[in-house]
Structure 1
Amino acid sequence: MKKLGILIVLSLIIFSCKSENKSGESNLIRGEFIFIDDAAVIKGTDFIYGVVINELTHELAKKIEPLQREEYDMVPVVIKGIVKPNPDEGWEEIVEIKEIIGVSAPTSELPTKIKSPDGEENTEKSGHEGHNH
């Protein structure tokens, strides 16, 4: 029973690593990463950060590329980075990657694609938004 309590506390500590850090220390960040046309984003359950483009960002992009099932597929990653306010337009906060901890294969299903009569691909969302029955 004591081990279960320790595991729960440890899990909470690990999953709450997305903290406001004013001292410039690296945070452990778990989220889904995507890099497209010199822009990168990492998205977690309760945050979205723009990513500072640096050598480690390019290295992470190379690591996720073989795991992407399509060009816009986000891949789960664990990194250490410094979260700071974004001085430019875009995301409210940005993260500068300091260390790549791990990369794993995406687990969610890809959206269903539908070809319209003119040959363009559209993404089908589940549910019936905007439909009156």
Structure 2
Amino acid sequence: MRRFFEIMMVAILLVSCQDDEQKELNTEPVTAKVQDSLEVLQGDYVYVADAAVLRGENFVYGVKQDSIAMLLSDKVSDLKSDDFEMIPVRVKAKILANPRLEGWDEIIEIKEILEISGASISDPIE
């Protein structure tokens, strides 16, 4: 009888420890929810090699590289006097959490180019 009691105690301890570990593995990390609407952002834009940044008065965002961002980079490159010059722009963009762990916490996905300072009005933006 004593042997049976010892086996039951060991079994209960093993089962109770296993549940604690399983609960820790099943918990999901808490993530902040980022606003999903489009915002008009005005700031200085720079594109170098394979990365772009939009810097405003109160923010700095990495820019998701897609066709609209590449179009903006092409338009801005005509106005730059050197590779690291920042050109003032105004864009409509969606602010997203950065899926990568490197760089900025948030990136923007440009949806529409509203204005490029220094570009003539006759230049088509889109």
Q: Report the TM range for the smaller structure's normalisation.
A: 0.5 to 0.7
Structure 1 SS opposite 2:85: coil
Deviation (angstroms), 1:65:
1.0
TM-score (norm 1): 0.61
Q: What residue number does 1:38 align with?
A: 50
Q: What residue number does 1:76 align with?
A: 88
Structure 2 SS opposite 1:32: strand
Deviations 1:98-118 (A, max 9, x none): 00001013xxxxxxxxxxxxx
Instruction: Flag as ranges the 4+ runs of structure 1 deviating above 6 A.
Output: none
Contiguous gaps of at least 5 residues in structure 1: 1-19, 106-133
Q: What residue number does 2:37 align with?
A: 25
Q: 1:63 aligns with which of 63, 75, 80?
A: 75
Q: Which amino acid aligns with 1:52?
A: K
Deviation (angstroms), 1:60:
0.1
Identity of aligned residues (%): 35
Q: What residue number does 1:95 align with?
A: 108
Q: Which amino acid aligns with 1:95?
A: I
Deviations 1:66-98 (A, max 9, x none): 211211000000000001111211111100000
| Matches of 2:97 and 2:72, distance apart in 1 | 22
| Matches of 1:60 and 1:34, distance apart in 2 | 10
Structure 2 SS opposite 1:56: helix
Structure 2 SS opposite 1:67: coil
| Matches of 1:59 and 1:87, distance apart in 2 | 23
Tell which structure's C-alpha radius of gyration is larger. Answer: 2
- Check if 1:53 corresponds to 2:49: no
Count of residues paired in the alignment: 85
* Contact 2:34 2:97 (C-alpha < 8 Å) held by counterparts: no
Structure with greater helix percent:
2
TM-score (norm 2): 0.64
Contiguous gaps of at least 5 residues in structure 2: 1-32, 119-126
* Contact 2:43 2:54 (C-alpha < 8 Å) held by counterparts: yes
